[in-house]
Amino acid sequence: MTRRIRGNDYTVLDPPPLGAWTPSLRVSIVVPAYNGQDKLDLALAGLAAQTYPEELLEVVVVDNGSSPALRMPEIRPADTRLIVCDTPGRANARNAGLAAATGEIIHWLDSDVVADRHEVEAHMRWHHLASYLVVTSYLRFTTAALPSPAVVAGADDLAKLFEPAEPHEWLVDLVERTNGLTETPNRAFSLHVGGATSVNRGLIEAAGPMDEELILGQDTEMGYRLAQAGAVFIPEPLARGFHLGPSMRMRDKQPIDRVSHALIGDRVPQYRWLRAHPSRQWKVPYLEVAVRAEGYEETRATVDAVLAGTVPDVSVLLTGPWDTMEPERRAPLTNPRLDLTLIHGHYAYEGRVRLTAAEAERLAPFRLRLPAGWVPGEDTLARLLDLAVEGGHGLVGILLAETADGVTTARLERRAAFARAALVMERHEEASSYEYDEAVDDVYGALWIDGETLGFLPASETTPGKGRRMAYRARLETEAEVVKLTKEVERLRGQVGKWREEAGRWRKSAVDLRREVGGLRREVTALKAGRLRSVIKRISARRPGLPGAAATAGPGTATPADPGTEGPSPNGPA
């Protein structure tokens, strides 16, 4: 059984050391080229020195309208072919090379990239472990003088020829921020760059060739489709190469971003920041809701609620036996297919609804299977998507109702997870839905939750949603109320400030008052003490025999009761 990698955590695989294994897979290296014969000569010289077995390696060079026409140099791999693609464009040239390639693995390589002698082997040791891997080299960008092809072919270390050089900064930063891409399965596809990336041919056949309508961003868009086909993306530090000169992005980042963002946003739903518009539709929706047409009222309640929610990036796949409808002209109310006719007529011209006989494959990263008659709340789908994205789940099952007749459920499915499950299951064509769900749980994870918690209700328990104008007016009223409350808050803040100032003055007055009271208390105490001494003195003077009176007399004062005191006798002179 194929090893089941969870998310993008490829670390569960254990590739053999370089030179210590026996390869068996054939690789086709596709090199699109437009002019630049001197750089192409060096790229082919680097491929001629690879450690991967020569009999398992072929090179397809695609001349995309060079003038003068490209030629094959003397130093090149033994199995090297030159074909011509006159239609200009990188995607056209790569697709032409893909059609001519015979290998089980396709290795994209730019014509101005010189691969280290172990580069191909470092890629291929991964592809021998699993059939759904995408491997990318670490490139460095050099401005060194170009050596001869013979020097490149004979070099044991290209760094001696091309350093100093700059790293692929955005790629290195992405890898470092995401722990080698193991923590971000939703964004790992950004690693698919055409400069030096290898892909299993079967994976390309499942995803489709490069989009020839795009003028920039083809690599990223194909990476997204590879992810939806179940791919795992691996940055391989042992696969090294030197890009001769700066990349297009290094030279013209802002104009390149301007063009690619305008085109990629329509095709890659995972780049949410490129889809900030509140209501417009895109070529590839973020969420597709599959509803089986049942009764007219029930189906309409479900579909209308989906279209009126807070997720504008949504489309509805409405399935039913549309080819069986036969309009009844004379007595339309007796038509046994009346409800189906009403549903068809109601949504035939709604651009966000597709009427099909069976579920068709789309590139939307998420699909919700929702039974007719069940209505999501206004923000229910957004909350459901957040739950799946934040938890990294491949399946979120929703329990809607449980009765004596059975259980009613809805399912949010991540397309990449179910594609991966099909890749890792043996004889998946015969697998049951339960076995599929188990495989999805292994490779991404599954969660079950109560529908009422998310806001799913039967149509009979809901009210029709507000129209856009009503919602707009409600929003204006809310905004006006917010402004009013904001002003009131500011007024109260000012009042609180005044109260704080007044409280500060009161605190200062209280402190001063406590100081005055303390001083008065000390004065009162002093007065009391002074008065007490005065009273004691007066009492002592009036009552000579009072104990302690002598103690209160002044110094040198004779006490009348003292017989030894000199002075006249009370009876006069003797």
Residue range 95-108, pLDDT digits in tens: 999 999 999 999 99
What are residue 31's phi and psi, to 5 degrees? -120, 95
As a whole-number percent, the residues of the chain with pLDDT over 90 amount to 64
Residue range 197-211, pLDDT digits in tens: 999 999 999 999 999
Residue range 42-75, pLDDT digits in tens: 999 999 999 999 999 999 999 999 999 999 999 9
Q: Is the pLDDT of residue 328 over 60?
A: yes
User: Which helix (H) or strand (E) is 385 found in, with range?
Assistant: helix 380-391
Q: Is the pLDDT of residue 563 over 50?
A: no
What are residue 62's phi and psi, to 5 degrees? -115, 110
Q: Is the pLDDT of residue 463 over 90?
A: no
Residue that wins the pLDDT comparison between 195 and 155 = 155
Residue that wins the pLDDT comparison between 486 and 550 = 486
Q: Is 158 exposed, middle or buried (0-12, 13-18, 19+ CB in 10 A)?
A: buried
Contact 282, 311 (CB under 8 A): no
Contact 94, 54 (CB under 8 A): no
Q: Is the pLDDT of residue 372 over 60?
A: yes
Q: Is the pLDDT of residue 569 over 70?
A: no
Residue that wins the pLDDT comparison between 492 and 538 = 492
163-172, 266-275, 289-298, 325-334: which range is least confident on average? 325-334
Contact 265, 258 (CB under 8 A): no
Q: Is the pLDDT of residue 303 over 80?
A: yes
84-98, 117-131, 282-296, 516-530: which range is least confident on average? 516-530
- Rounded average pLDDT over 347-367: 88
Q: What is the pLDDT of residue 517?
A: 85
Is residue 543 very low, low, confident or very high in pLDDT (cuts 50, 70, 90)?
A: low
Q: What is the pLDDT of residue 380?
A: 96
Extract the tokens encoding 288: 């597709």
- Rounded average pLDDT over 478-497: 90
556 phi-psi bin (left φ>0, alpha ψ -120 to 50, beta other): left
Q: What is the pLDDT of residue 556?
A: 45
Q: Is the pLDDT of residue 174 over 70?
A: yes
Q: What is the CA radius of gyration of the chain?
A: 44
Residue that wins the pLDDT comparison between 126 and 472 = 126
